[in-house]
């Protein structure tokens, strides 16, 4: 039996076939956005922890190689220059210590790049055995690129790379 066009239209309007597909298509962009946020936050957290660990290791290393009498002698030492509270000739070595492990394997995720390293020291007065106590500080400038940043372009602007500074300090022994 053949349905009239009027009855076909009524049947089509009452039908719920395909509703789930339409709801899925409507919610898909939101699910993609949530997925991208979770992935990018995880990558950012892992990369930041790797940079922070490298900077802390570099500052401990600098605390071990700097002379303990750096404050009374105003930074005169052979093998490197310590003048005016700034370590020079150590930035390349410290950058390598931040970026690699003992076997020269990269420890930073590919989207993280160390763009610069500054090493300084300060003489901190206080109730220490030796006062003022020398403290070495390593500050690394990093640049972070988001690999899934283009997904945010669906909802507005893409995520641009950003720069930050991570620093760590260690007492000079």
Residue 5 lies inside a defined structural domain of this protein: no
Q: Does some domain include residue 1?
A: no
* Residue with token string 């899925």: 24
Domain assignment present for residue 10? The answer is no
- pLDDT tens digits for range 125-149: 877 777 788 888 999 999 998 877 7
Asked whether residue 80 is domain-assigned, the answer is yes
> Is 8 within the bounds of a domain?
no
Q: Is residue 141 part of a domain?
A: yes
CA 50 to chain CA centroid, Å, is 8
pTM: 0.75
Supply the pLDDT for residue 76.
Answer: 43
- Which three-class secondary structure string do you get for 54-98? HHHHHHHHHHHHCCCCCCCCCCCCCCCEEECCEEECCHHHHHHHH
Question: Binning pLDDT at 50, 70 and 90, where does residue 169 land?
Answer: very high
- Residue 173: predicted pLDDT: 83
- Could you tell me if residue 2 is inside a domain? no
Total structural domains in the chain?
1
In a domain, 7, yes or no: no
148, 32 contact by CB (below 8 A): no
Range of the domain at 144: 19-171
Would the pLDDT of 81 be above 70? no
């Amino acid at each position: 039996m053949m349905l009239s066009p009027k009855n076909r239209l009524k049947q089509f309007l009452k039908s719920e076939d395909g509703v789930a597909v339409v709801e899925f298509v409507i919610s898909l962009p939101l699910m993609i956005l949530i997925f991208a946020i979770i992935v990018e936050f995880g990558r950012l957290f892992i990369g930041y922890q790797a940079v922070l660990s490298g900077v802390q290791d570099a500052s401990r290393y600098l605390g071990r190689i700097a002379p303990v009498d750096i404050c009374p002698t105003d930074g005169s030492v052979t093998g490197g220059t310590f003048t005016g509270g700034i370590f020079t000739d150590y930035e390349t070595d410290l950058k390598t210590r931040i970026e690699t492990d003992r076997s020269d394997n990269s420890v930073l995720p590919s989207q993280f790049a160390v763009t610069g390293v500054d090493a300084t020291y300060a003489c901190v007065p206080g109730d220490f055995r030796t006062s003022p106590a020398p403290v070495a500080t390593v500050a690394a400038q990093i640049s972070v690129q988001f690999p899934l940043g283009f997904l945010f372009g669906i909802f507005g602007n893409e995520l641009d790379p950003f720069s930050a500074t991570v620093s760590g300090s260690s007492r000079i022994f």
